[in-house]
Amino acid sequence: MTSLAVHADQRAEGVPLVLLHAFPLDSTMWQQVVSRLPGIPVVTIDAPGFGGSAPREHASLEDYAREVVVTVRELGADQAVVAGLSMGGYVAMAIAEAAPGILAGIGLLSTKASADAEPAREKRLAMAAAAERAEPDLAVGMLQGLLGDTSRQHRPELVEQVRERLRTAPAAGICWAQRSMAARPDRLAALAALAGVPALVLRGAQDALMSDGDACAMGTALGVEVVELAGAGHLAALEEPDAVAAALAQLYARSVG
Ligand code: MLT
């Protein structure tokens, strides 16, 4: 039995579409997208230390991935379409490696398959240590990188919403996630091994954190074209929920038929 906070429409039946959120947000980042997916049994999950999920002592994306797989089985499903944005994508790729058979389809949004270079890893561990010392407003500096120019220039209410999410990001979650992400390996081979599993690779053209090359490498491994959203940055699900929901609905239809 997993103790992750799982948010699902109890009436929904069939193969679930599991959505995994970005760092340092929680499952509510998917609200706009979920409301645009009527008729699809969507399940959103809070990562350890975020939203309604308790922190875990051991920092591991792989453990979280295993818990997501257990959650799918607890929902009574043999398979799921799993889509994750950024950190959520790292977890979807950990599932691809550990339990590929559970994937009816995979969606990788604003993410990358490569591991961190040493300086990025050190930065993550420093942020985790600062979170442990309960330093305030640790994540607020991420704002600039999370939204594209279009959102930052023309959508002040979205900028404020994201700033508030960053300001209130939980220290225990920051700590768990940064240590977990610092330890993740390259997972391009796991994607290439998925051969034939329906896939979506999506990026915002204004994403300052994940490059076109990152997306192309995943697309090539999975045998799909990258879907690029011109008006979005990193948090594409918040910036362009219509286009993200449409891409996920298409992935779901290809995966479940
Ligand atoms: C995220 O949006 O989940 C993070 O930017 C991922 C990361 O820090 O690599």
For the CA of 23, the closest atom of ligand 1 is: 3
What is Dmax (Cα atoms) for the chain? 49
Which residues have C-beta within 8 Å of that of residue 149, sequence separation ≥ 6? Answer: 206, 233
One digit per residue, pLDDT tens: the chain, 257 residues? 778 999 997 666 799 999 999 999 999 999 999 999 999 999 999 999 999 999 998 999 999 999 999 999 999 999 999 999 999 999 999 999 999 999 999 999 999 999 999 999 999 999 999 999 989 889 999 999 999 999 999 999 999 999 999 999 999 999 999 999 999 999 999 999 998 999 999 999 999 999 999 999 999 999 999 999 999 999 999 999 999 999 999 999 999 97
CA 110 to ligand 1 centroid distance, Å? 9
Please, is 63 exposed, middle or buried when counting C-beta atoms within 10 Å of its C-beta (0-12, 13-18, 19+)?
Answer: middle
CA distance 160 to 152: 10
CA distance 136 to 140: 9
CA 126 to ligand 1 centroid distance, Å? 15
CA 10 to ligand 1 centroid distance, Å? 30
**In the block, which residue shows the tokens 């995966």?**
255
Enter the pTM of the model.
0.97
For the CA of 88, the closest atom of ligand 1 is: 3
The pLDDT value recorded for residue 10 is 63
The pLDDT value recorded for residue 12 is 63
Contact 210, 203 (CB under 8 A): yes
CA 23 to ligand 1 centroid distance, Å? 5
Secondary structure class of 8 (helix, strand, coil)? strand
Alpha helices in 48-117 (DSSP H): 61-74, 87-98
The pLDDT value recorded for residue 130 is 96
CA 14 to ligand 1 centroid distance, Å? 30
Q: Which residues line ligand 1 (CB under 6 A)?
A: 22-23, 86-87, 181, 209, 234
For the CA of 177, the closest atom of ligand 1 is: 8
In a 13 Å sphere around the CA of 162, the CA atoms on its Cβ side amount to 25
Alpha-carbon torsion angle 202, 123, 66, 88, nearest 10: -20
CA distances (Å), origin 43, targets 19, 57, 156, 162, 230: 6, 25, 29, 22, 27
The pLDDT value recorded for residue 84 is 98
CA 161 to ligand 1 centroid distance, Å? 18
- Which of 26, 162, 181 should be mutated for ligand 1, with most atoms under 8 A from CB? 181
